[in-house]
Structure 1
Amino acid sequence: MTEIRIADWASERETLLAIRFAVFVHEQGVPAELEEDAEDAKALHLLALSPDRQAIGTGRLLANGHIGRMAVHRDWRGRGVGSALLHTLLAEARRAGLRTVFLNAQCTAEPFYRRFGFQPEGEVFEDAGIPHRRMVRVLEDG
């Protein structure tokens, strides 16, 4: 069973960045300098661990409700890891008292986020050369 837990940026930065670099930089060609930003030190980060304790996924939540940096290692996609990460990020957003959350989804991931109640907002735009669309979800209580 996959474990999802809150990660400490200060002590687990390298682990979290290794996942993000594997997915965004190496697979998708995002420039390495775009993968870490000033928000990382302030964000709530999640880490997904495989049954044998390998780091396999991550995501973050900012205080303004922005969910981002969702990444799951290629070998673990389609096995519920991304869903578990997003479910936990939504629970943490509720716990923080947020009423809405938003993200900039890669267009290929829009159907995934729609399954969690996110609705597209605005036009498609490019970020790091990849088409994205802003998606928003109002959080219900509980």
Structure 2
Amino acid sequence: MAAEPTIWAIAPSHTYLLRHEVLWPDKPLDYVKLDEDTAGYHYGAFFDDQLVGVVSLFVDGDEARFRKFAMLPAYQRQGIGSALLHYVVAEARRLGARRLWCDARQDSAAFYTRFYLQPEGTVFYKGDMPYVRMGMEL
């Protein structure tokens, strides 16, 4: 990657189009909106002033969960998603979490293991998409 992405806190509404395009393009836009979005922390990765990745973090006591981690395909495998995930791990710690977890698409699990998240439990499905819960102590 030629340059590091810029990562900023963004409004929940600024995540919706990218979440939709990357994660669930065959569903209505409302499908990617979460009831708890207003209570979360939302971050965007910008490259050349374009929003190319998003992730949302929800903290409940000493536990944090990240959701809706989406990176535009043209910007994947360039280190931008890794930078965004490192940022979210640091934010979870800063916000007092001692544990971080996510429900990962099974085909992305190997990516998350590079960040010390480990599979927990068995594969489950959201629609026809296989997922696995992954977690780590902070």
Global fold match (TM > 0.5): yes
Q: How many angstroms does 1:31 deviate by?
A: 5.1
* Alignment match, 1:35: 32
Q: Structure 2 residue aligned with 1:57, among 50, 53, 59?
A: 53
Partner secondary structure for residue 78 of structure 1: coil
Query: What CA distance in whole angstroms lies between the structure 1 residues aligned with 2:133 and 2:54?
Result: 20
5 Å-filtered alignment, 1:12-51, equals 13=13, 15-26=14-25, 29-30=26-27, 32-51=29-48
* Alignment match, 2:129: 130
**Per-residue deviation, residues 74-115 of structure 1 (Å, max 9, x unmatched):** 110001111111100000000011000110000000000000
* Alignment match, 1:98: 97
User: In the alignment, is the contact (CA less than 8 A) between 2:7 and 2:43 conserved in 1?
Assistant: yes
User: In the alignment, is the contact (CA less than 8 A) between 2:17 and 2:29 conserved in 1?
Assistant: no
How many aligned positions are there? 132
User: 1:31 and 1:137, CA in 2 relative to 1: closer, same or farther beyond 3 A?
Assistant: farther
Partner secondary structure for residue 93 of structure 2: helix
User: In the alignment, is the contact (CA less than 8 A) between 1:5 and 1:48 conserved in 2?
Assistant: yes
Gap runs ≥5 in structure 1: none
Gap runs ≥5 in structure 2: none
* Alignment match, 1:108: 107
Q: Alignment RMSD, CA only?
A: 1.2
Q: Does 1:117 align with 2:112?
A: no
User: 1:30 and 1:130, CA in 2 relative to 1: closer, same or farther beyond 3 A?
Assistant: farther
TM-score (normalised: structure 1): 0.88
Q: How many angstroms does 1:129 deviate by?
A: 2.0
Query: What CA distance in whole angstroms lies between the structure 1 residues aligned with 2:124 and 2:80?
Result: 27
Identity of aligned residues (%): 31
Q: How many angstroms does 1:33 deviate by?
A: 3.4
* Alignment match, 1:69: 68
**Per-residue deviation, residues 35-71 of structure 1 (Å, max 9, x unmatched):** 10111111100011112x0110000110131111100
Query: What CA distance in whole angstroms lies between the structure 1 residues aligned with 2:121 and 2:88?
Result: 23
AA at the equivalent of 1:121: E
Which has a greater percent of strand? 2
* Alignment match, 1:88: 87
